[in-house]
Structure 1
Amino acid sequence: MKPNIGIMNALMRTGCGVAMLALSSAGLVRHRWNLIHVLIAFLAGVKMASGFHRYCPLTAVFKQSKQNSASSPPVEDTTLSLEEI
C-alpha cells in the first residue's frame, strides 16, 4: 500500500481517533455495552489505523474514480434551446 494521505492529515486522523476512543470508552464505563459507544470505538480504531498507515481506502476510491472520469470522453449536451422548440 502506497501512502495516499499527507503527514498532517495522518496526524489529524490519529488525534481524532484517540479522542473518539477516549469518549467512547468513557461512555462504555458508564453505560455498559451500549451499541453506539461500541460503534464509535470501532470507527475510532479505523480512523487511527488509517492515520498510522497513511492509507485511506475511501481516498483511494475517490482518486481512482476521479481519474476514470477525467479520462472518459465528454458527454454531448442534448438539451434543446428555445430556438429549436
Structure 2
Amino acid sequence: MVKPNIGIINAIVRITFGFTLFAWALSKMMRRSSRTEPMPLFTVAMASMKIAEGITRFCPLTYLFEENMRHEHHDHYEIEDDFEISPVNPS
C-alpha cells in the first residue's frame, strides 16, 4: 500500500480536472477527422493518470521530489558533520 502524499483538496482538484480533460479528449476523438491525431489519445492517458492520482491520493512526481529533497537535506548535514569548525575570535 502506498502512503498518500497529497491532500484532500489537491485530490479533489486532480479528479475534477482529470474528468474534465478526459471528457474533452473523448469528445475530440469522436470526430472522424480527429481519430488519427495522437493528441487526444495522449490527453486521455494523462487525464486518466490525474484521476488515478486523485483517487489514491498518491502522486509519483511528488514522491520523487520529496525523496530527492530528503536526500539533499541529509547529504547537506552529512557534509557539515565531516568538517570541524573552529571558533572565531572577533576581537
User: Which category of TM-score, normalised to the shorter sequence, fits these structures?
Assistant: 0.7 to 0.9
**Whole-angstrom distance in 1 between the partners of 2:18 and 2:27:** 14
**Whole-angstrom distance in 2 between the partners of 1:52 and 1:73:** 35
TM-score w.r.t. structure 1 length?
0.83
**Whole-angstrom distance in 1 between the partners of 2:66 and 2:45:** 25
TM-score w.r.t. structure 2 length?
0.78
Q: Does 1:42 align with 2:45?
A: yes
Residue 29 of structure 1 is matched in structure 2 by 30
**Whole-angstrom distance in 2 between the partners of 1:4 and 1:48:** 15
Query: What 5-or-longer segments of structure 2 have no aligned partner?
Result: 80-91
**Whole-angstrom distance in 2 between the partners of 1:69 and 1:37:** 38
After TM superposition, give the deviation of residue 73 of structure 1 in Å.
Answer: 2.8
Query: What 5-or-longer segments of structure 1 have no aligned partner?
Result: 76-85
Larger mean CA deviation between 10-19 and 29-38 belongs to 29-38
Deviations 1:31-74 (A, max 9, x none): 22421000000000001000000000110000000011111136
Q: Compute the RMSD of aligned alpha carbons.
A: 1.6
**Whole-angstrom distance in 1 between the partners of 2:36 and 2:74:** 48
**How many residue pairs are counted as aligned between the two chains?**
76
Report the AA paired with residue 71 of structure 2.
N
Q: Which runs of 4+ in 1 moved over 3 A?
A: none
Structure showing greater Rg: 2
Residue 72 of structure 1 is matched in structure 2 by 75
